[in-house]
A and B are shown apart, each in its own frame.
Chain A
Amino acid sequence: MTKAMVLALSLFVLPAKADWQVNMTQGVTELSREIFDLHMLIFWICVVIGVAVFGVMFYSIFKHRKSKGAVAEHWHENTTVEVIWTVVPFVILISMAVPATATLINMYDTSEADVDIQVTGYQWKWRYQYLNEDIDFFSNLSTPRDEINNVQVKNSNYLLEVDKPLVIPVNKKVRFLITSNDVIHSWWVPNFAVKKDAIPGFVNESWVRVEEPGIYRGQCTELCGKEHGFMPIVVEVKAEADYARWVADQKAMKLISAGAASQNYAVADLIAKGEGVYNAACAGCHQVNGQGMPGAFPAITASAIATGPIQKHLDIVLNGKAGTAMQAFKQQLSAVDLAAVVTFQRNGLGNSVGDSIQPSAVQQ
């Protein structure tokens, strides 16, 4: 009942945060503003040409109509006019091309970066590796499925929120090395005017120097499969001191999670934790109920792997299956999460094998 009401509400009531932005964002970097200016320049050139051309056209539509007694004249050629309207656009174009080229040269200068971050696209999440620090994490969509399925009211950052944002320092040149693990993705943050394709087997470069701390949001912009619309990018730009603190925190957390992996967990705890991991990492393909999608993604429920030997099950989760959409999760999830999700898949989703695996066993 309430579910139906919320659904009806979301269908017929305009969302709270509707706005009418009609133009490109100016962004928060020198380059993004330069690009915005280029965009406005070419826009106004088009407006002026449009007003002139359509002005003449509508003038003749109103004046030179038969119903007003207009009689057609007979001329149908004029070399001078034709030369003029070939040359003038050409000159306008050159005047456009010069500033555009200058901006482009600036964008391509990726030298002397202060921070280097490798950005890797996965179906359907981003991985951020800080090349000079020992920091490496995945960033997943954190919008609850109930919001997507219209069961819950959507929050204001609907589809533009992640569990772990990328963090970069303000006023430093940050270089992104962008690549992909599977299909082509594209990493775009409109406020930075950075959009670069993430291509498997290639490393593309881009850079940014953000002038204001804040949270900036973007999305994947190259069709990358089923969940293409659900892999946002969130970048938190921090003041230098805050950034340094964040880096230190990441290192401390890494130690804690290493400690966590050596502990023993009760099966019920693993299953409970595993369900959350499953919904975040697996349900996109195998579905929340474990039924998969026939022909595209196999079911977990009653599958030979999830009900067969546990080592084989673990192996496919760790290393993926070549030639299919099944990824290797060894790098993506912690040992605790891996143990939890495997245990959950064997004892949930309609399966009841009864066995379990501990994080320490996963690590071997």
Chain B
Amino acid sequence: MATVDIDLPHVKDDDSHHHGPAKGLGRWLYTTNHKDIGSMYLIFSLCMFMIGGMMALVIRAELFQPGLQLVEPGFFNQMTTMHGLIMVFGAVMPAFVGLANWMVPLQIGAPDMALPRMNNWSFWILPFAFLILLSSLFMPGGGPNFGWTFYAPLSTTYAPDSVTFFIFGVHIMGASSIMGAINIIATILNMRAPGMTMMKLPLFVWTWLITAFLLIAVMPVLAGVVTMMLMDIHFGTSFFNAAGGGDPVLFQHIFWFFGHPEVYIMILPAFGIISEIIPTFARKRLFGYSSMVYAVASIALLSFVVWAHHMFTVGMPLVGEVFFMFATMLIAVPTGVKVFNWIATMFRGSMTFETPMLFALAFVVLFTLGGFSGLMLAIAPADFQYHDTYFVVAHFHYVLVPGAIFSIMAAAYYWLPKWTGHVLNETMGKTHFWLSFVGVNLTFFPMHFVGLAGMPRRIPDYALQFADFNSMASVGAFIFGFSQLVFIYNVVQNVRAGQKATDRVWEGAHGLEWTVPSPAPYHTFSTPPKID
């Protein structure tokens, strides 16, 4: 780990040699400033979250009652596919990259990201990727309709023509993610302030460092699998076509070799955020810092050897089933360590419950519920009954919505005063939290029941015995969806005006980001801080 010896000319006023942000649209197009780029990622992610959310509401509206009411099945499939793709690649991942852009330099005492021009590029290709993806909905034959997991041959031989645009979009997103990851690794390894040793890094930085390695490892695999699809569709190869000597199951192995680390890419930074917030509001140091780091690292390593637990029903040999069952169960150990550590941090602390803490506490409880159903899914024989039912839908929405999304909300409430210089409206924040909390549970908890009772996922219409729980879930989804408007209103008000925030913002906050003024100046840590 080479720590670069930063030897900058020391000037009295940090900002006197720098100019502030440029004026007009050019500021955003040409910016290389990590704070600008971070804001753009976050705004982009919020837009995608609303678009993906509207698609989810189309799905839930159709499923409110049995029978086909609003959309026809082909369009329903496009909605489930696009909802998944947009939420995963457009909402959750860019939100974490945005947070990393804002917070990693501030938390390690660096003046900016290591590769600022690439930073601009990796953001600006994203809107185009999603324009391409979304435009496919308006093409003849419709957009991608094969689920976000796009299993061949449904996504190759039997796909609509727009699949080529989907492939192109995925390529661009992958390139953006890889560049973002390289940038984050380079920043963390090379640009830490003197004295900021690896084992002093805030956990958000640690989890992102590990996440970035996961991204570099698996995004090329995704690029590979979509390229193989492209070859099958346009150039006559048969990678996934059994009739030509290929193997449709090979697709699933490659996809999940990417896909399983991908789901940890969407949760590890969340672990980091929660590990920042709980100590602040418990006014007590994080319990077991080093075991937290080791736990994240072991989860990341294990994520490479569990992929086939998504495929227990494809007819793997017995030995394969047993191996992937054991490996998957093993992940519960480091995940458990993390949950225990968070609770030990709260124990005998001095807690207060501001909005970020409420989201963090809900995260701990609801993510753990998602972890429990994950453990149940790991039991291969039982998985034959759970697989591809709403039980799975309930499971991954519990880890992604009150998991990843709640952590992003918590992070926004936690750091927004630092970004804008204004204190957030607590009443509105708490209203947003409680509406979201009730909405999320009303939406996803009943899905466990219909799943166990036998309702398959990705169907536009269902048998009558599933009707009551589905109506409940739909009501919950609309509550959750519309409660996000409270959040947006709150943020917009906060950016414009509000009570001035102090530099420390929260009484119990520790870390370099709280030593700079609120709002954080356009350039921070031009002179590296000294860490004792």
Question: Contact residues of A with B, CB < 8 Å?
Answer: 10-11, 14-25, 34-35, 38-39, 42-43, 46, 49-50, 53-54, 56-57, 60-61, 64-67, 70-78, 81-82, 85-86, 89-90, 93, 96-97, 100-101, 103-105, 107-108, 123, 147-150, 154, 156-160, 182-184, 186, 188, 190, 193-197, 199-202, 204-205, 218-230, 293-296, 323, 325
Can you sample 14 A-B contacts with CB below 8 Å? Answer: A35-B384, A50-B372, A61-B346, A64-B346, A65-B351, A72-B282, A73-B284, A77-B289, A86-B336, A97-B326, A154-B67, A219-B456, A225-B158, A230-B461
* From A74, A183, A200, A293, contact of B285 by CB (8 A): A74
Please determine whether A296 and B380 come into contact, CB atoms closer than 8 angstroms.
no
Q: Which residues of chain B are within 8 angstroms of A183 by Cβ–Cβ distance?
A: 151, 153-154, 157-158
A55's nearest neighbour on chain B, judged by CB, is B343
Q: Which residues of chain B are within 8 angstroms of A223 by Cβ–Cβ distance?
A: 77, 146-147, 151, 154, 457-458
Interface segment out of the listed B24-32, B104-112, B187-195, B361-369 = B361-369
Please determine whether A11 and B387 come into contact, CB atoms closer than 8 angstroms.
no
Q: Which residues of chain A are within 8 angstroms of B522 by Cβ–Cβ distance?
A: none
Please determine whether A150 and B453 come into contact, CB atoms closer than 8 angstroms.
no
Q: Which residues of chain A are within 8 angstroms of B242 by Cβ–Cβ distance?
A: 199-202
Known: A23-B452, A77-B288, A295-B142. A105 touches B382 (CB 8 A): no
17 new A-B contacts at CB < 8 Å, known A85-B340, A223-B154: A43-B376, A61-B361, A66-B283, A74-B284, A78-B287, A86-B336, A100-B325, A107-B384, A123-B158, A184-B154, A188-B388, A193-B385, A195-B388, A201-B248, A229-B458, A296-B160, A323-B157
Please determine whether A11 and B65 come into contact, CB atoms closer than 8 angstroms.
yes
* A18 to B470 alpha-carbon distance, docked (Å): 11
Q: Does B449 contact A (CB under 8 A)?
A: yes
Please determine whether B69 and A150 come into contact, CB atoms closer than 8 angstroms.
yes
Known: A15-B467, A150-B67. A35 touches B382 (CB 8 A): yes
Give residues 237-273 of B contacting A (CB, 8 Å).
242-243, 247-249
Contact with A along B365-381 (1 / 0, CB 8 A): 10011001001100111
A38's nearest neighbour on chain B, judged by CB, is B382
Least CB distance, B233 to chain A, in whole angstroms: 10
B interface size (C-beta, 8 A): 98
* A230 to B384 alpha-carbon distance, docked (Å): 21
Q: Does B337 contact A (CB under 8 A)?
A: yes
Q: Does B427 contact A (CB under 8 A)?
A: no
Please determine whether A156 and B385 come into contact, CB atoms closer than 8 angstroms.
no
Least CB distance, B472 to chain A, in whole angstroms: 11
Least CB distance, A141 to chain B, in whole angstroms: 11
* A85 to B335 alpha-carbon distance, docked (Å): 11
Question: Contact residues of B with A, CB < 8 Å?
Answer: 65-69, 73-74, 77, 139-142, 145-147, 151, 153-154, 157-158, 160-161, 242-243, 247-249, 282-289, 291, 313-315, 318, 321-322, 325-326, 329-330, 332-333, 336-337, 339-340, 343-353, 361, 364-365, 368-369, 372, 375-376, 379-382, 384-385, 387-389, 448-449, 452-454, 456-465, 467-469
* From B66, B151, B321, contact of A158 by CB (8 A): B66
Please determine whether B352 and A67 come into contact, CB atoms closer than 8 angstroms.
yes
Known: A38-B381, A64-B351, A76-B285. A296 touches B315 (CB 8 A): no
Q: Which residues of chain B are within 8 angstroms of A220 by Cβ–Cβ distance?
A: 456
Please determine whether B343 and A57 come into contact, CB atoms closer than 8 angstroms.
yes
* A96 to B80 alpha-carbon distance, docked (Å): 34
* From A50, A86, A227, contact of B337 by CB (8 A): A86
Least CB distance, A319 to chain B, in whole angstroms: 15
Known: A39-B376, A149-B67. A108 touches B318 (CB 8 A): yes
Least CB distance, A41 to chain B, in whole angstroms: 9
Q: Which residues of chain A are within 8 angstroms of B452 by Cβ–Cβ distance?
A: 21-24
Please determine whether A295 and B161 come into contact, CB atoms closer than 8 angstroms.
yes
B161's nearest neighbour on chain A, judged by CB, is A295
Please determine whether B313 and A53 come into contact, CB atoms closer than 8 angstroms.
no
* A147 to B66 alpha-carbon distance, docked (Å): 10
Least CB distance, B470 to chain A, in whole angstroms: 10
Known: A66-B352, A154-B67, A221-B389. A57 touches B285 (CB 8 A): no
B311's nearest neighbour on chain A, judged by CB, is A197
* A154 to B210 alpha-carbon distance, docked (Å): 53
A-B residue pair count with CB separations less than 8 angstroms: 304
* A202 to B153 alpha-carbon distance, docked (Å): 13
Please determine whether B142 and A296 come into contact, CB atoms closer than 8 angstroms.
yes
Q: Which residues of chain A are within 8 angstroms of B157 by Cβ–Cβ distance?
A: 183, 323
Known: A82-B291, A100-B379. A202 touches B454 (CB 8 A): no
Q: Which residues of chain A are within 8 angstroms of B463 by Cβ–Cβ distance?
A: 157-160
Q: Which residues of chain B are within 8 angstroms of A158 by Cβ–Cβ distance?
A: 66, 463-464
Q: Which residues of chain B are within 8 angstroms of A20 by Cβ–Cβ distance?
A: 449, 468-469
* From B365, B379, B384, contact of A96 by CB (8 A): B379
Known: A15-B464, A64-B348, A295-B142. A100 touches B160 (CB 8 A): no
Please determine whether B330 and A76 come into contact, CB atoms closer than 8 angstroms.
no
Least CB distance, B492 to chain A, in whole angstroms: 31
Q: Which residues of chain B are within 8 angstroms of A11 by Cβ–Cβ distance?
A: 65, 69
* A199 to B242 alpha-carbon distance, docked (Å): 9
* A25 to B145 alpha-carbon distance, docked (Å): 31
Please determine whether B66 and A15 come into contact, CB atoms closer than 8 angstroms.
yes
Known: A89-B332, A323-B157. A97 touches B67 (CB 8 A): no
Q: Which residues of chain A are within 8 angstroms of B313 by Cβ–Cβ distance?
A: 186, 195-197
Least CB distance, A253 to chain B, in whole angstroms: 30
Least CB distance, B403 to chain A, in whole angstroms: 16
Please determine whether A53 and B339 come into contact, CB atoms closer than 8 angstroms.
yes
Please determine whether A103 and B381 come into contact, CB atoms closer than 8 angstroms.
yes
Known: A74-B285, A201-B242, A224-B154. A38 touches B465 (CB 8 A): no
Q: Which residues of chain A are within 8 angstroms of B382 by Cβ–Cβ distance?
A: 35, 38-39, 42, 100
Please determine whether A222 and B73 come into contact, CB atoms closer than 8 angstroms.
no
* A17 to B465 alpha-carbon distance, docked (Å): 6
Q: Which residues of chain B are within 8 angstroms of A75 by Cβ–Cβ distance?
A: 287
Q: Which residues of chain B are within 8 angstroms of A227 by Cβ–Cβ distance?
A: 73
* A357 to B344 alpha-carbon distance, docked (Å): 80
B77's nearest neighbour on chain A, judged by CB, is A226
Please determine whether B351 and A70 come into contact, CB atoms closer than 8 angstroms.
yes
* A96 to B368 alpha-carbon distance, docked (Å): 19
Q: Which residues of chain B are within 8 angstroms of A105 by Cβ–Cβ distance?
A: 318
Known: A38-B379, A53-B343. A159 touches B461 (CB 8 A): yes
Please determine whether A56 and B464 come into contact, CB atoms closer than 8 angstroms.
no
* A54 to B340 alpha-carbon distance, docked (Å): 10
Known: A72-B283, A85-B336, A295-B160. A195 touches B384 (CB 8 A): yes
* A19 to B465 alpha-carbon distance, docked (Å): 5
* A42 to B463 alpha-carbon distance, docked (Å): 28
Known: A72-B283, A85-B336, A96-B329. A64 touches B318 (CB 8 A): no
Least CB distance, A279 to chain B, in whole angstroms: 16
* A296 to B459 alpha-carbon distance, docked (Å): 19
| 7 closest A-B pairs by CB | A201-B242, A295-B140, A295-B141, A229-B459, A204-B315, A46-B372, A21-B453
